[in-house]
């Protein structure tokens, strides 16, 4: 498919950019441990998971994911489904992640989960 071909082309460039950002962050921190967050939907598909110390998966059920994709990206239902199907299934990502945020509730509940994970991550490097 066209999306698959586009991903193949862009993954190499994305990986280069992520590696560059990681190196820049390391150089700026002068060997102090810091937290660098990389927001990437295709971490496993692009095989950049090995560059990460920890991975946080953001889970949402497929029906809600479709609704949000339609609204945010102005996609048709078919377009949203195609985008979802082009990615690794959410259940697999959740199994492989170090932390999971359930994003199917309210924004406040999601924020609470993020804050809890953030505190755990920061406490590991303090």
pLDDT in tens, 70-90: 999 999 999 999 989 888 999
| Domain locations in the chain as residue ranges | 2-125
pLDDT bin (cut points 50, 70, 90) of residue 51 is confident
List, as one string, the DSSP characters of 49-94.
GGG-S--EEEE--HHHHHHHHHHHH---HHHHHHHHHTS--HHHHH
Residue 99: how many CB atoms within 10 A of its CB?
Answer: 17
Instruction: Report pLDDT for 31.
Output: 60
pLDDT tens, 53-72? 899 999 999 999 999 999 99
CA-atom Rg of the chain in angstroms: 16
CB 16 within 8 A of CB 51: no
Q: Decide if pLDDT at 96 tops 90.
A: yes
Q: Which CATH superfamily is domain 2-125 in?
A: P-loop containing nucleotide triphosphate hydrolases (3.40.50.300)
Instruction: Report pLDDT for 70.
Output: 95
């Amino acid at each position: 498919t066209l999306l698959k071909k586009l991903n193949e082309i862009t993954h190499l460039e994305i990986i280069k950019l992520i590696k560059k950002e990681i190196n820049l962050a390391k150089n700026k921190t002068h060997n102090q441990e810091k937290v660098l967050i990389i927001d990437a939907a295709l971490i496993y598909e692009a095989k950049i998971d090995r560059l990460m110390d920890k991975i946080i998966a953001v889970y949402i059920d497929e029906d809600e994911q479709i609704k949000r994709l339609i609204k945010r990206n102005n996609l048709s239902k078919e377009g949203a489904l195609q985008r979802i199907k082009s990615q690794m299934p959410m259940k697999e990502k959740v199994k492989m992640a170090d932390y999971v945020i359930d994003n199917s509730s309210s924004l406040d509940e999601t924020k609470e989960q993020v804050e809890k994970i953030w505190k755990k991550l920061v406490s590991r490097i303090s």
